[in-house]
Structure 1
Amino acid sequence: MNIFDNDSEVLQIGALTIENGTDSVILSGDVEITKTQAGKAQAQALLDFAQALCAVFDELDSQGLPATADKDPSKVVMVNNPFE
């Protein structure tokens, strides 16, 4: 997964879904890691993702990562609900 590079990639680990975005990554669901080879593979996948995410943040820190997300309400556009 190319973290923060697109809005189309999804990583699935068990029932845990990791959705990529250009300004955020969304984790939803859960994963039961059992004491098995499959559990070991899931744990490794989580570790690999976490390390990749931290590496991206290390790179962003060098570029001046903001302290908080700036959600400018003036950029929100209201549209009519097509289902009403």
Structure 2
Amino acid sequence: MPTRKGERPFEPFADDAAVRTIGALSFENGTDRIALHGSLDLSRDKAGLERARALRRTADAIVRALEAIELPEAVAEAHEAPKTVPNPFA
């Protein structure tokens, strides 16, 4: 996926750690799904145009990744129980 200067590459479905953030909208990568959280304002100015282009680049990369493989009808839902972790601030 072509990126803008300073924009780190985002390879859809490549790992469970990468995040692409555009404005306040986050694309959280996963090997089975990509989660979107937040919001994005596309203002009618140069900044809005750049955010719209970044959104398009990210969405296009996701579509290309999906079109490049044989897809199942559906991905199984992961129903893991919440894990308790030690408080890192204690």
Give the structure-2-normalised TM-score. Answer: 0.74
Q: Number of matched residues?
A: 77
Alpha-carbon distance, 1:53 to partner: 0.7
Distance in structure 2 (CA, Å) of the matches to 1:80 and 1:8: 18
Larger Rg: 1
After superposition, the Cα gap between the structure-2 partners of 1:59 and 1:32, relative to the gap in structure 1 and judged at 3 Å, is: same
Give ranges in structure 1 of 5+ residues lacking alignment. none
Q: Does 1:45 align with 2:54?
A: yes
CA distance in 2, matches of 1:12, 1:80: 26
From 46, 53, 65, the equivalent of 2:71 is 65
Identical aligned residues as a percent? 30
Aligned to 1:10: 19
Scaled by the length of structure 1, the TM-score of the pair is 0.79
Superposed CA RMSD in Å reads 2.1
Q: 1:71 Cα deviation (Å)?
A: 3.7
The 3 A distance-change label for structure 1 pair 70 and 48 is same
1:69: Cα distance to partner? 1.1
**Residue type of the partner of 2:13?**
F
SS at match of 1:46: helix
Where does structure 2 lack aligned partners over 5 or more consecutive residues? 1-9
Greater RCO, CA 8 A, separation 6+: 2
More helix by share: 1
Question: 1:72, CA displacement in angstroms?
Answer: 7.3
